[in-house]
A = this chain, B = another copy of it.
Amino acid sequence: MRDPDDVLRDGLLTIGRFARLCRLSVKQLRHYDDTGLLPPARVDPATGYRYYAPGQARDALTVALLRELDVPLPVIAATLASAEPERARLLRAERDRVAERITRDRARLELLERLADGGGLPGYEITLGREPRRRLAVVRAVAGPGELAERIDGSVGRLLAALDGTPWRPPLWGLFPLDLADGMRIAVGAQSAEEADALPDGLEREVLPGGPTVETVHHGPYTQLPLAYHALMAAVHERGLRPLAPVREAYLVGPGEAPAEEWTTRLVVRVEERTEETA
């Protein structure tokens, strides 16, 4: 039927040549064949040699381009296989993924700056104290991974709106679980100015028990708070103390009051009362 030399007359390319043309490696092309992403135009049944048609260069170059943009192979496959409205949707989803990574990397960068230039991990002064019992009016929210900042922002907005006209005693408080995993249930609240206070509409009551605490104060933007928590929790555990949820943040100086470097946040973690004590 087919003269074997047809391969060349058809203008088919060997895998090595095709790889160089499309800025892909031979390994990559074989992998894309195995996974069905980009099968060669012809595979010699006797030798297993792969031959690619020049018309496949467009797809191969698309794959190369999208790989440089760090798009996962399954998404590339879907992109090649789908038509226009869907294709744009896939690419927008990838764009969002990259945008989010940039956001998180920026926070990482700030922390690493401070870690490197601050000469390592020290620098937080830890104090042991006692907190009185506090009755707060709070707004609650659940924050998925990476959306903590916006959830807090939104909650503060709702809180201040609900507090409108009601006297309250600064600072604002933030309440967080000990476990900083995803799906965090957080709360933002304020303490009323009067002792026996009414609860404004739209807010819930949260009573914070009093007791012994371990505390520190953080100066700087909130992206650097993990450093302060690190020092705080290390201090708690080194003293053999048991932390009690929720962890409390008091926003002494916050956004709108000063540039980010001067924001001041007091971190408070209540610990179990020591009863039968030794050292």
Report which A residues bind B (CB closer than 8 A).
11, 20-23, 54-55, 57-58, 61-62, 64-65, 68-70, 84, 87-88, 91-92, 94-95, 98-99, 101-102, 105-106, 108-109, 111-113, 115-117, 119-121, 178-181, 226-227, 230, 233-234, 236-240, 243
Give the residue of B64, B113, B181, B237 whose beta carbon is less than 8 angstroms from that of A57.
Answer: B237
Closest chain B CB from A222 CB (angstroms): 15
Interchain Cβ contacts under 8 Å between A and B, 24 examples: A11-B240, A21-B233, A55-B238, A57-B234, A57-B236, A57-B237, A58-B238, A61-B230, A61-B233, A61-B234, A62-B230, A65-B111, A65-B226, A65-B230, A68-B108, A70-B108, A88-B119, A91-B112, A91-B115, A92-B112, A95-B116, A98-B105, A98-B109, A102-B105
Which B residues are in CB contact (< 8 Å) with A236? 57
**Structural contact, A116 and B98, CB atoms closer than 8 A:** no
Stoichiometry (number of copies): 2
B230–A88 touching, CB < 8 Å: no
Q: Give the complex CA separation of A227 and B61 in angstroms.
A: 10
